[in-house]
Amino acid sequence: METRYVVGIVVVLLVGAGLIYLLSPQPAAQAAATPTPESPAVPEATATPKPSFIPLVTPTPVPAGATPVATNQVAIINGGFNPFEISVKAGITVAWENDDGVLHDFSVTSGPEKFSSGLISPRQKFSRQMNAVGTYEYVESRYGTKGRIIVQ
């Protein structure tokens, strides 16, 4: 008699787990993207699940009296941008390198000039010469993470 109860409980747990799995959003459906006409389609080898968290990037404090090192490189990693914000002089080329294992793209949502990166494959770069002075806000399309460039 006890064996029937144990078997019944196991069956109920398995059915419940199966329902939770089937009813939860599937990352493959979220990862489907339509390539823009100006960029070639690069198929993903496998669907990559969306990370359960996006780590916050904390800026490294600069000691008093030190001159910060200028950078024109932005890494795309763990679905975010590192560093979140950079400042460059007008005419400098900024490069975004995809250090993640999946395709990424981003679009400038505010600023003097609007542009999109198109799909950036893993270990590839997108570069853009920043000529117009102002603040550029951009967003990554898959995870919605943001970044900023201040052109002086």
Task: Give pLDDT < 70 ranges for the chain.
Answer: 1, 16-19, 21-70
Phi, psi angle pair for 23, to nearest 5°: -90, -10
**Predicted TM-score (pTM) of this structure:** 0.54
Length reported for the chain: 152
Per residue in 30-58, pLDDT (tens digit) is 444 555 555 555 656 555 555 554 444 44
Question: Quick check: 130 and 147 in contact, CB under 8 A?
Answer: no
Share of the chain above pLDDT 90, in %: 49
Q: Report the phi/psi class of residue 144: left, alpha or beta, with left for phi > 0 and alpha for psi in -120 to 50.
A: left
